[in-house]
Every structure is written in structure tokens, then in C-alpha cells.
Structure 1
Amino acid sequence: MLVLTLVVGLLYALPNLYGEDMAIQITGARGGAASESTLVQTRNILEQEHIASKSIALENGAIVARFASSYLQLRAREALTAVLGNNYVVALNLSPATPAWLSMLGAAPLKLGLDLRGGIHFLMEVDIDTALNKLQEKTIDTVCGDLHDKGIPYTTVHKIANYGNEIRFQDAATRDHGIFWLTPRHRDLVIDRYGSNALRVTLPSNLLRKARERAVQQNITVLRKRVNQLGVAEPLVQRQGSDRIVVELPGIQDMAHAKEILGATATLEFHLVNSTLDQTASINSRVLEDSEMKTVRDGQPVVLYKRVILTGDHITDSTFSTDEYNRPQVNISLDSDGGKTMSDFTKDNIGKLMATLFVEYKNSGKKDASNRFILVKQEEVINVATIQSRLGNSFRITGFNNYNEARQLSMLLRAGALIAPIQIVEECIIGPTLGLQNIAQGLRACLWGLVASILFIVVWYRQFGLIAATALIVNLVLIIGIMSLLPGATLTMQGIAGVVLTLAVAVDANVLINERIKEELRNGRTVQQAIHEGYRGAFSSIIDANVTTLITAVILYTMGTGSIKGFAVTTVIGVATSMFTAIIGTRAIVNLLYGGKRIYKLSI
């Protein structure tokens, strides 16, 4: 058992010796996968630019190109981005240089935090203007809906400055009737007369301020959920200024996937299809004021009512699967408000067509006067279906091109739709936040502390000290191996402190055992009896000391965050491995050396 444990520990700790390569990772946009043709194209681009690569391979739907230096890596990204364009995500990466035979066994290097190895830093900007435009559209939809329900006719509706709306009526009497009806129902809005037969609905400054704050805060919440979907340990997602968000991802491997998922602005809207207009009318742009023309994926036009039935804000869960014809689909679950809205709407519109509109904001590549990239709204109808029965909190969506697209959309919807689109304005690989010199000194101090402990126990306990030193080294190997195996574990400076602490506890356990053996020898026990009684007598003390440490570490992990959790994780792992090596490991070595033999003197 000990040999098998040691072999497995060494096997999974071994990848940490190989380091990492500077790499470029290329994945298809919107969940698409790179292909063999993309691989050939990538090789041709690098050859034309005379950029030497260590290797280029297609791995799990992504192309990974490895380079010998960061200079070549940056040159390669510029060349590939210029040619591949918006169809692919080209991102910087640090790819493990683990041999293939170790990778086949699932072995990977230990993930290090930003304070040890750096990581990816994103600075994202929230498009507040789009969020306020959405609020403007939602406001006028609600107001016009109230007028329609009351039977108050109006002629035209159009937007005005400062996110307001203007509604015109046939005459002043109808306008005044509308103001009388709307004012008590929308006390948070400013509704005033304008001209002879119009009214203006504007948003007060306090409401606009709250909307801006909500857009940033809700986007931070969604980004944190998306980071959790990526499985990143100890991330940093925090606000910077009025409309920017900083995201730092330590120890992440799939940089391209992270960039695509965090920056994605995809969401869904459900609209009723306007079947009163034919396709010819829509092509000629003769669309009613309450409708607009969209296109299906095959390019065919479809006319939808502008009024949104439901948005992705009400989606609580989404999963992807296949339907009875083995086609990809996304299963949607709504919250109580969304379920009620969908139920009431479908109950009254059975037999009509409802469209699922995929909405996404993409970087146009152009900049405005403030030197910010202009986002372009792209809309596409992915599904048109007949409402055959009353829908509730759960239903499904079909019409996807491939499984990757369905999988990614379900993940984005599960993490939550961004209330306002964001764009990555800064992306870089950052170095250790504590400074390379401090880290080197810290690791050197840990190493010398371990060496000093080993020298002391070897000098003081002789051969039994060598056995304890062997157990300490094996303990360290097992800690690194287990940390490398855990998918969400990230080693930080605080984690290293936990490792040093547990190594000290392991030394303490060996000191208890050895001192108890010496005491039994002084009491006149034989060598074999002293060894037996030494381990048996020290066992309860070792267990008590380590269990109390475990309790404290579990509380730290439960109630702490960030670096405190990192310390707690390494402490728990270290305590478990130290008990294993100090009690079982050293006893096995002692039995191997002294068991079944007539020994009259111990080297202790």
C-alpha cells in the first residue's frame, strides 16, 4: 500500500518539473470548434510570417501553438488575429509542457495563484448606454401596454433625448385622458404634456443613477457566476471606477475559452410572430410600427412584434441535451415571474407562432470619439414554433447548428444574462503580485526551514531521524501530488504557509513517537516492546493534535474566502498526509529494518 501510494504521488507530482510553454490557443467563436482546415491555415500563416513554433496541434476542438519565447508568442497572436478575424478567438495562453504519457494518465501541474505565477488580467467596460436604452424601451412598452389595455388610442411613439419617449394622440382630450390614467400607475416616471396633443415620459435622474449602478453590480454578479462555471479557484472580480470591472484568473489553463465566456453578451428574447404580413411585404420593408423584420439562419425574413414576451433575465437554469431526432436542444427553466408571464401569454395565443431571438453584442472594430470600441447588436431568429399548448416554467429550444453551440448557450444562460453588454478593453498576462524576489526569498526560507528540521532530527535521533526525514520528503511529494489532482485547488503564498505548518506538525508527530520509544527503553523494555509501545502510546496524542488542527482548518475553509481558503485547503491535505506518513509510513520502515530480528540496541 505504501509503495503504491508513493508511486501514485510521484506520478502526479512529476508534471510540476516540466514547466509551461508560451502558447496561443485558437477556438471558434460562439462555441464553434476549430477544425483540421483551421490547423492547416494556422500553420501557413506562421510559415508566411517566419514565426517558428515548437508544436501546433488540434486538442479538444482548440488549436494550441507552442512557442519558445513570449516575443514569438505575441508576434504569432498579431499575425493570426489579423487573418482569422472575428470568426475565431485568438488568446494568449500558458500551456503545460507535460509529456503525453503523463497527460494520458490525467496528470497535470499544480495550479499556482496570481501571487506565485501571475495569471490573466481582464479589464472590462460596461456599456451603460445600452442598458439605459433597454430601460427606455421597457418603459415605453409598459406605458403603451397600459394605454392599450385601457383602450386609449395613440398615433405615434418615438424616442427623445435623455432616454425619454414621446407619445402623440389624435387630440388633446385623448392625451389628457392618457395622462390621467398613467400618472397614478407610474409614480416613478415623469409624465408631462408636450405640444397640443402629445405627452412625454422621462426617467428621473435618481432612477437613471440606480439603473447605472444596477447594470454594473448585476454584471459583476453574472461574471462571478461565469468564473465559477470555468472552475477557477480564488478569482478576483471587482469594480474599478464607475463603469469598469477587473477580472483576474489565477491558475487557469484555457485562456481562449475564458475570454470568450466572460466577454459573451448572448441572451434570448421571445417574440410573437406577426403573421398578418407576408414575406414580400417584409422584404420591401413595409413593416408596421409595432413590428420589425428579423432573419432566420437560412436568410429567410420573418416579421416579429417588437414587444418582448420574455427575456433571459427570468431564466434560472438551462441544460443542453438531444431531442427524439438526436438534434441538439436547450432545456429552459424560468423563475416564478417568468413562468407566470409565459403561462399567461401562451394560454391566450395557442395556435400562433412564437420566435426565439438570439441577441448578441459584438465588437465592430471601430472606435468612437472617446476611443472606445463600438459594439454592434446582432440578432438572429434561431427557432420559430407554433404554440401548441400552455407553457409553464420549463420548455425547450431547438434550431442549433451544433452541440457546442447548444452547450455554450446553456452555460451562458445558466450563469445569467448580462444586463448590459461588456467589452474587454485590456487583456494581459500579469506577473506575481508580491514580486518575484519576495517569492524566491519565501520559497528559499521554506526550503532552509525544512533542511534545518531534517538536520536536527537526524542529529538528535540518528537512524530514526533518517526515517522521519524520509517521511517528511514523502509527505511533501504526496501534498503536491494531491494538490495537482484536485481540479479546483490553487496554490498561493498562504497555501505554502499551510504546507510548512503541516510539515512542522509531521516533525512533531515523529518527535512524540521517538521520545516515547526512548522512554520505554529507559524503563527496561526490550527493543521490540519499546517500538511497539512507543507507537501505541504516541498514537492518541498525535490523533488529538491533528484532529484539532483539522477542525480549525475546516472552519477556516467554511467561513473564510480567497487566500484563507487556500491556507485551509493545504492545511487539511497536509495534516492528512502527515498522519499517514508519520504513523503508518515510518512504522512500515521501522518494521522493515527491525521487525523479526533480535535487536539489542537502537540508533535513536
Structure 2
Amino acid sequence: MLHFDRWKVALILLVCFAGLAYSAPNFIPKASLQGVPEWLPHQQINLGLDLRGGSYLLLAVDTASIVRDRQQSLVNDVRNALRSERIPYTGLGLQGEGVSVRITNPEDVEKAREAIEGLSTIVSGNAFSTLPERDLAIVTTERQITVALTEAEKIARTQSAVQQSIEIVRRRIDELGTTEPVIQQQGTDRILVQVPGLDDPQRLKELLGQTAKMNFRLVSNAMSGQQALASRTVPSGTEILYTADEPRAPVLVERRIMVGGDRLVDAQPGFDQRNGQPVVNFRFDSSGARQFGEVTRNNVGRPFAIVLDDKVISAPRINEPIMGGSGQISGSFTVQAANDLAILLRAGALPAPLNVLEERTVGPGLGADSIRAGEIAAVIGSVAVVVFMIASYGFFGLLANIALFLNVAMIFAALSILQATLTLPGIAGIVLTIGMAVDANVLIYERIREEIAAGKGPIPAIEAGYNRALSSILDANITTLISAAILFQMGSGPVRGFAVTLGIGIITSVFTAFTVNRLMVSVWLRRRRPKTLYL
């Protein structure tokens, strides 16, 4: 038990050295690490929102708009289904929570119902259920057919929208260059967003609050927006939208979308070569480029409105066909506004608007106070443990303290390598680990005392102490590790931060308190060969 092969000694020393090396950058100013080669340890622990400061938002997905959009598309689907079967109808439109249509000829009612039933599908996620649920509920009353979304379809669309929103929010925030944002679902329709280091929650709200549904439409040449407002009559197939810039001006645009924003493949901020003003340069995919080229070729001389979330952000005149599949969005942009718009377009449109339910900003001063309080608690806890171990076990207590120091270094190294986020509860987990780390040594040393009291010599007593304490050490730490894993899986935010440091601390403490400590005791025994043992 006290014998170590050379390769085992080399491996233990290598792990200890790596722990010290990878934890060292955390005690060096970040500016001093800029010139460190990539192959050397240079990563520091990411500080969470409560330590570093930053912005916190709780967002709610507008589920009502998801259902409303699906109902609007259902109107078009029913229209196309009836037209394809050449079935006369009247009164097609939204009525209550469904789509209602009246069939003109009574003999066509059954045929119409079959055509509409063809639109129904099994709700996503239930395709392999023994009782699959469908997305549409169809009710026929004489010549009236009503089509409504089932509850299963509403739930499925909400879940899909939330997951899609989380990915788009993550892409938008990643474009800001922030480190380790926390983006996770809460409940059925809420999204928690924590962005450490970002102290401008207003910009974050503006970035996440825009749906960013972009499209390109022609400006109507029937009349101007002001004339349409004054006459209170809007020509068929057009609508009045307003410009995004202040003062807001009405623009009469055609309802037909000439090119959809989903055809964009890239958007980058830049500067107009003519006047040096910030602009956004965009590029379409092959299909979008073909549509864009055809529209600009057939409508030279007409204004072409670029619409974002039902606001006209620019309406340049088409001077010549644009066949390259790329263009430029100009307006009264600042550099930051152009950059934010490019981020929105690159990340894609949200499936539904996000409403801000709660917002908080944690200043870096509060984070510094939290770090200082955590450091004081760690120092007090460490000093108390060190004094207790030396007072209780003398030289063996000193060896336990050396193992404890290596344990803390390995925790910092693991957090740095994994780029895990350290939170205030995470510091509490480290402080707790410091107290728990010496438990294994206390168990071992008390076992050794029992063996010495039974009359055994130093080497047999030490070997028996390590052998008999091992099972108790493993039992205690494995159960705690299971608890940490459950906290990480079921918890969120600060709870996860605590679980991460606690779990890492348990693994490193078993290694240092048992393996490293045993190696140090073994080396001491071989060199000193004591006749009696005072413990």
C-alpha cells in the first residue's frame, strides 16, 4: 500500500505540477498574459454575473403571436386547398380561435372537409405515440366548416419557438464578444439571460427585443403615405408603415413581399464610400440573389422599401438592376446601430417577440465586494483548518495542509481548463471543499492512532490506517458527488455554480488527501525509518 512504482510517482507529480501551472494565470493580471504563447497555460477563470457585474434579463416568448401567425397561415392553407379542388366558398377568415369558411354548395361540404383534413398532420414529437394527436380540430355544421388548432399543436409550437428563440438569442449575444453568457429556459415560455461584463442592459434589451423579421417590398406608386393618411383610403394590396427614424413618416408599401429576409446569408457593418456614413452591407443566397435581381430589373426608378419588424428602415430608389445578390442598407445609423443591425440580420429572426419581464444590472463594484468577501471567507477557513490540523496531528497535519494547498490549486486549474463560470455560490463551494478536504486525512490519521494503540509498529499502523479508511472515504465522497451531480442537472444559475465547484473539489480532494498525502508519507517513511510514531 505504501509502495509506489516510478511511473505512478511520475504521474502524480505531473498532475500536481499541471494543477499549479494551470491555476497560476488566475493570480497574474490579465494584461500581463497578452504576450503568453498559446501553448503555455494562459486561461483564467470566467467570473459570473454576481462577481464580474453585468446584465440580467428574464424574457417571455409571446406565445399568443405564435398561435396568431399559425392561424393566419391556416387561412391561406384552407384557401389553397379549396381552390385546388375547385370548391366554391364564402366568408373565409378568422373567427374566434379558429378559421371559419362557408361552402356554397351543400353537396361539396364532404369534399371540402376531406380537402381540409388533408392539411392536418400529427403533432411533432408524437409521431410514434400509440394515440397520436393531430394539429387541427375540424368541426362541420351544415355548410359551415371551422378549423382550430388543437392544444397539443399550441404546446408543440410554443416549445419549438422557445428552443429556437434560445438559439437565436445565443447567436446574437455571442456576436457581442461576451464570455460565458447564461441562456436557459425557465418554465414553459421564459428565457433567462445573464451576460457577465455587459453593463449596458438597454443595448441588450434592444438587441434581444427586436424580432428582426426583415423583408423587401416595393413602395406603392399609387399615392404617397401622407396622401393615404389624409384620404383615409388605402389602395388594395398595400398598407401604411412608418419609418424607423424620428420623426416617423408614413410610407405606403405593397403587401407583397418581393424578397424575404430568410434569404440573407451575411450582413456586415461598413461605411458608405461616397459620404463615409455607417451602413450595413448584405448578401443573399443564390435563390434570393435571383429574386433580388429580377425585382430590381423590372422596377428601375421605383423606391424599394427595406422593412424590419414592420418599420421602414430604408427606401432607396432602384437606379439600375442589381444582379450580384448583394446590397447596402443606409440610413441615419451610428456605428453601434449599424453593428447591432448586422448582428440581428446574421443571427436570424426570432419566431416570436420577446417581452422583458425583469431586468437587473450588477455593477462591477458589487462584484468586487463579493470577491473580496469570498477571499476573506476562504482565508479564514483555510487558516482555521491549517491551525487545527497542525495542532491535532503535528507533522502529519503539515502534510495534510500541503495536500490541501494542492487541492485548491487543482480546483482553480480545472475551472480554468473547462472555462467554467465561477459564481458567488461557487466560492462557497470552494470554501466548503476546504473544510471537507481534510476529512479524509482525519479519518486516516485516527485509524492510524487506533492501530498504534493496538501495539503495531509505524509502517504496519500507517498501512492499515490507509487501507481501512479508504472505503469510508469513498463512501462519503461518492454520495456527496451524487448530490452535486443532481444539483447540477436540476438546478440553474447560482445552484449550478455551487454544484460545479463542489463536484470538482470532491474529485481533487480525494486525489490529494489520499493519493498525494500517501505518497508524501511513504517518502518520509523511507527516508526517516522511525522506530516509533507520534501522532
TM-score category by the smaller chain? 0.5 to 0.7
Describe the shift of the 1:224–1:165 C-alpha distance in structure 2 as closer, same or farther (beyond 3 A). Answer: closer
SS at match of 1:120: strand
For residues 450 and 360 of structure 1, what CA distance do their matches in structure 2 show? 62
* Residue 142 (structure 1) aligned to one of 68, 77, 96: 77
Question: Residues 222-242 of structure 1: CA distance to partner in whole angstroms, max 9, x if unpaired?
Answer: 333446676947546669xxx
Which structure would you say has the larger RCO, counting Cα contacts within 8 Å and 6 or more residues apart? 2
Structure 2 Cα separation of the partners of residues 463 and 540 of structure 1: 25
What is the match of residue 475 of structure 1? 407
The answer as to 2:39 corresponding to 1:5 is no
Secondary structure in 2 matching 1:595: helix
Q: Is the 8 A contact 2:182 2:192 kept in 1?
A: no
Structure-to-structure mapping, 1:375-524, within 5 angstroms: 375-376=311-312, 418-421=350-353, 430-431=362-363, 440-487=372-419, 489-524=420-455
Query: Is 1:223 matched with 2:165?
Result: yes
* 1:472 Cα deviation from its structure 2 partner: 0.9
**2:165 is aligned with what amino acid?**
L
Q: 1:32-79 CA deviation, whole Å, 9 max, x = no partner? A: xxxxxxxxxxxxxxxxxxxxxxxxxxxxxxxxxxxxxxxxxxxxxxxx
Q: Distance in 2 between matches of 1:211 and 1:538?
A: 58
Q: Residue 584 of structure 1 corresponds to which residue in structure 2?
A: 515
Q: Within 1, Cα distance between the matches of 2:344 and 2:471?
A: 54
The counterpart of 1:526, out of the listed 452, 457, 465, is: 457
Distance 2:345 2:37 in 1: 29
CA distance in 2, matches of 1:360, 1:536: 75
Distance (whole Å) between structure 2 residues aligned to residue 378 and residue 560 of structure 1: 46
In the alignment, residue 84 of structure 2 is paired with which amino acid? D
CA contact (8 A) 1:361 1:421 kept: no
Assess, with a 3 A threshold, how the Cα gap between structure 1 residues 560 and 246 changes in structure 2: closer, same or farther: closer
Give the aligned partner of residue 197 of structure 1.
Answer: none
Q: Which residue of 1 aligns with 2:45?
A: 110
Alpha-carbon offset, residue 603 of structure 1: 5.5
State the 1:9 CA deviation.
1.7
Change (3 A) 1:163 1:412: farther
CA contact (8 A) 1:265 1:361 kept: no
- Output the CA distance in 1 between the equivalents of 2:168 and 2:219: 39
Q: Distance in 2 between matches of 1:107 and 1:471?
A: 24
C-alpha RMSD of matched pairs (Å): 6.3
Q: Is the 8 A contact 1:251 1:490 kept in 2?
A: no
Within a 5 Å distance, the mapping from 1:292-371 to structure 2 comes to 362=308
Cα deviation for residue 562 of structure 1 reads 3.5
TM-score, normalised with respect to structure 2: 0.56
Task: State the shift of 1:132 in Å.
Answer: 8.5
Q: 1:539 aligns with which of 470, 475, 484?
A: 470
Q: Does 1:99 align with 2:45?
A: no
Aligned-partner residue type, residue 149 of structure 1? S
Q: Matched residues in 2 for 1:452 and 1:557: separation?
A: 29
More strand by share: 1
Q: CA offsets, 1:425-445, max 9 Å, x none?
A: 999853389886566445423
Q: Is the 8 A contact 2:53 2:199 kept in 1?
A: no
Identify the residue that residue 249 of structure 1 maps to in structure 2.
Answer: 194
| Cα distance between partner residues in 1 of 2:306 and 2:56 | 23
1:121 aligned onto 2:76: no
What are the Cα deviations for residues 234-271 of structure 1, in whole angstroms up to 9, with x where unaligned?
546669xxxx97743254799999999956756799xx
Q: 1:166 to 1:554 in 2, by over 3 A?
A: closer
Cα distance 1:520–1:493, how it changes in 2: closer, same or farther (>3 A)? same
Using the alignment, how far apart are the partners of 2:525 and 2:71 within structure 1? 84
Q: Give the direction of change, closer, same or farther, for the CA distance of 1:517–1:101 in structure 2 (3 Å limit).
A: farther
Aligned pairs for 1:157-236 within 5 A: 220-226=162-168, 232=180, 234-235=182-183
Q: Which amino acid aligns with 1:13?
A: S
Alignment CA distance shift 1:428-1:106 (3 Å) = farther
CA distance in 2, matches of 1:166, 1:466: 82
**How far off is 1:109 after superposition?**
1.9
Question: What are the within-5 Å matches in structure 2 for residues 237-276 of structure 1?
Answer: 247-251=192-196, 265=211
Look up the SS of the partner of 2:193 in the other structure: strand
Paired residue secondary structure (2:44)? coil
529 and 147 in structure 1: CA distance in 2 versus 1, 3 angstrom threshold? closer
* Structure 1 partner of 2:530: 599
How far apart are the structure 1 equivalents of 2:478 and 2:381?
24
Q: Is the 8 A contact 1:107 1:485 kept in 2?
A: no
Report the CA distance shift for 1:378/1:216 in structure 2 as closer, same or farther (over 3 A): farther
- Cα 1:600/1:129, change in 2 over 3 Å: closer
Gaps of 5+ in 1: 20-95, 168-173, 190-200, 270-281, 292-303, 313-317, 319-327, 331-352, 364-373, 380-398, 402-407
Q: Describe the superposition over 1:287-319 as per-residue Cα deviations: whole angstroms up to 9, x where unpaired.
A: xx999xxxxxxxxxxxx99699x998xxxxx9x
| Shift in CA distance, 215/524, structure 1 to aligned 2, threshold 3 Å | closer
| Residues 425 and 495, structure 2, Cα contact 8 Å, conserved in 1 | yes
Equivalents in 1 of 2:491, 2:59: separation in Å?
A: 27
Q: Report the CA distance between 1:546 and its aligned residue.
A: 1.6
Q: Deviations over 1:67-122 (max 9, x none)?
A: xxxxxxxxxxxxxxxxxxxxxxxxxxxxx546135472463221222233333335
Residues 464, 603 of structure 1: 8 Å contact kept:
no
> 1:266, 1:360 within 8 Å by CA — same for their partners in 2?
no
Q: What per-residue deviation string (whole Å, max 9, x for no partner) do you get for residues 410-466 of structure 1?
A: 9957xxx62235599999853389886566445423331221111110111111111
Is the 2:184–2:193 Cα contact (8 Å) retained in structure 1? yes
Distance change >3 Å, CA 119–CA 18, structure 1 → 2: farther
Structure 2 CA distance, aligned partners of 1:562 and 1:175?
55
Structure 2: 5+ residue runs without aligned partners? 1-10, 118-135, 139-144, 223-235, 239-253, 266-282, 296-304, 316-324, 328-342
Residues in 1 aligned to 2:488 and 2:59: alpha-carbon distance in whole angstroms = 30
- Alpha-carbon separation, structure 2, partners of 1:378 and 1:217: 34
The verdict on how the C-alpha distance between 1:211 and 1:512 changes in structure 2, with shifts beyond 3 A counting, is closer
**Kept after mapping to 1: 8 A contact 2:381/2:435:** no
Question: In terms of mean alpha carbon deviation, does 143-152 or 422-431 score higher?
Answer: 422-431
Cα 1:117–1:284 shift into 2, 3 Å: closer
